């Protein structure tokens, strides 16, 4: 389910997960309870950026919770291993502090 970026302030968000989809493509999800929702822009399309800091700047204006970066490994696919049912994603904390002024 999509959640519009202008509706984030009204939700009880526990964390934001910025997912690295490709080399330089990021999409974001919010965790509300046990459910993840993808964030949509004002036109209803999935919010995408080509820069991690740009995504953080956009979302830190709307929410002040913990941020995480998620990356999925393509190693098994690259070396020809069969698809595994196990999740091979890694989440790294980006913190909850606002970005320093020199990054804005």
Per-domain residue ranges for the chain? 2-97
pLDDT tens for residues 20-79? 988 789 999 999 989 999 999 999 999 999 999 899 989 988 898 999 999 877 666 666
The whole-number pLDDT of residue 36 equals: 94
10 Å Cβ neighbour count for 47? 21
Q: What are the beta bridge partners of residue 25?
A: 22
- pLDDT classification of 84: cutoffs 50, 70, 90: low
How much is the pTM? 0.81
Instruction: Give the β-pairing of 48-49 and 25-32.
Output: antiparallel
pLDDT at residue 50, rounded to an integer: 94
Residue 88: per-residue pLDDT: 73
pLDDT at 96 over 60: yes
Q: Quick check: 81 pLDDT over 90? A: no
Mean pLDDT, to the nearest integer, of 87-97? 82
């Amino acid at each position: 389910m999509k959640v519009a970026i202008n509706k984030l302030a009204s939700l009880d968000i526990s964390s934001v997960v910025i997912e690295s989809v490709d080399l330089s493509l990021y999409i974001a999800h919010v965790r509300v309870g046990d459910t993840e929702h993808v964030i949509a822009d004002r036109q209803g399309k999935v919010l995408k950026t080509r820069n991690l800091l740009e995504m953080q700047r956009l979302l830190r204006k709307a929410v002040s919770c913990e941020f995480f970066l998620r990356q999925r490994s393509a190693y098994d696919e690259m070396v020809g291993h069969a698809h595994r049912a196990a999740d091979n994603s890694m989440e790294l904390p980006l913190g909850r502090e606002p970005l320093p002024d020199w990054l804005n």
